[in-house]
Structure 1
Amino acid sequence: MGKSLLCRIKTQFTVYARLLRWINLLMILLIVLIIRYGFFLPLYMAIGLASPLSHTIYFLVVLSIVLITAAGYIVNDIYDQKIDRLNKPTRLVIGQAVSVSRGWILYVALNIFGLISGGIAALQIEQPMLLWLFVLSFGLLWYYSAYLKRKPFWGNFLVSFLSALVIITPWLFEFYALLLKPDEWIAFYRFYPHVNYIILSLSIFAFISTLIREIIKDAEDMEGDQTYECQTLPIILGWETTHRILQALIALMMILLAMAQYWLRSHHYNLAFYWYFTVQFLSIRLLTVLPADVNKNQLHRCSSLAKITMLAGILGILALIPPLFST
């Protein structure tokens, strides 16, 4: 009896972990924690400032991001049931292990708790307008799943924008919390241009790397998408043209990385400068392993490599602090 119960619990845990894309959520959690605890807090300590944003408020921001993102994965699976039966029959959750009605209930609950968490955090720093960041994310994720995902380019663009927003949101909360404390803001102000440049650069990198990955995923799912008359880029333009677009995007990302490295070198961020050669290598690797013809397994590996490349790029923020102290 006890073993049977444990087995059922383990099965249910595995099902919901797969439904919520636990690896992706863990990656998002890691990124927002690195931004706070690997970048902003060490910077405040070096300046001699107390953090303007409490751990509790930041926890609410992180919780909101994670819950709304998780809800987005659920609604995506709800709308994609038929297509997923063809594209990933062995990984199908909604409609098999989890009923559609239960999926909707979980989707609504996660969004409600996510919006409440984000709303409380925004009110705590006297910036209720920041709640709209979370409302926007919730609305756009639903709109993507219901309509845009099956359209060329705009669905990819929207997901990429939301990935960039994950980087920007923590900085907006830190920024407005600083503005509430004029003395701290004056002490911080000389670091403001560099911090702005770094966050903006990471956001652009997150946008482009996510766009590359989303297009690769569309190519990976061409079989099911064609059956249900989806109009993704690989279907509309064909793989040969899509392949060229991906090559151009990867080349653009590498050029922007090189420009960022030049800036890092000229501002004595030597550790970060060398770290981004790792990201450049991963980008070159991605460029060389893109298959000439549609190969589902190879495209899946490319998708994973694109995710690793994005994470490596964000991790570079950990190498930025020491030179920043002396600016």
Structure 2
Amino acid sequence: MTPPTPSNLGSNDARWLAAAARLALRARPASNPNPGVGCLIVKQGRVIARGWTQARGRPHAEAMALELAGDDARGADVFVTLEPCAHVSQRGPACADLLAAAAPARVIVGASDPDPRTAGKGIERLRAAGIEAILAQDPHSADSLSGYLTRARRDRPHVTLKLALSLDGCIAMADGSSQWITGEAARAHVHSRRALADAILVGGGTWRADTPRLDVRLPGLETRSPQRWVLTSQEAPGARTIAAPAEIARIPAQYLYVEGGARTAASFLEADLVDRLEIYRAPILIGGGIPALQDFGLGELAQAHGRWQPVERRNLGPDTFEAFARTR
């Protein structure tokens, strides 16, 4: 599904802002604990500079793009996914001040910053400098910042639950064997999703039975392997642990990727901590296998409706990938 264009933007501005949101993916997850921001500087319909938040949070996206643009930033349009910061850090100046000095014609901002040091102040500072500053409340930008915004507003990571299923909803044979339900293309896609997460979590049963590596095994992305966490009350050598989903605030991450099994998946759903559901479906039937989910406390069928909005669908070889966002 394509999110609607913000009502205060023209179609060209909306496309540039959406492109900045896609660029922001390059910052994820290395920018943690800072937000992964994307910035494009456009002049006469052409991108003259771009930037994204660098590892460990500095330089910021705007600083990177402005350095590349130099004097050409004057009179240009700046598209940035998050409100430019208004506070000076020991690690660098405020991006609102850098933009004010660069004197672009417009700054189009995708999302306001919940950080009280900046909230509203970044845009005010730009306007005080005579720059047209537009807050678009762009859904693409908000989606690209979902980890940062969830951490700021809910004091926990943004949680993606991944399930790999047969057509009849099984995640394994009756004896527990599950390698492999999906094909090579789907498995590679899973690794690309892991590379976008700060942390990955499995249940204690999965950890003890399979000793999974929980790393990224795509050429060039091996260093993106996330922190390993296990949901268990026991020790898990080689990983860190939490005893209950409610403890995920302790995980120092913006993006948590949860990979089954059925009990772990159900526990996160029951606690209503899943923000995004990603389902890989293979064109196979198992019959009598292990179902994807255990009971997670749904009282009546009416409660199941209206919770999940489809946001993405694609074919991966013979398999199908679907993503759903939790509506809150």
Give TM-score, length-normalised by structure 2: 0.26
Q: Between Structure 1 and Structure 2, which shows a larger proportion of helix residues?
A: 1
- Pick 1 or 2: higher relative contact order, CA cutoff 8 A, min separation 6: 1
Give TM-score, length-normalised by structure 1: 0.26
Q: Between Structure 1 and Structure 2, which shows a larger proportion of strand residues?
A: 2
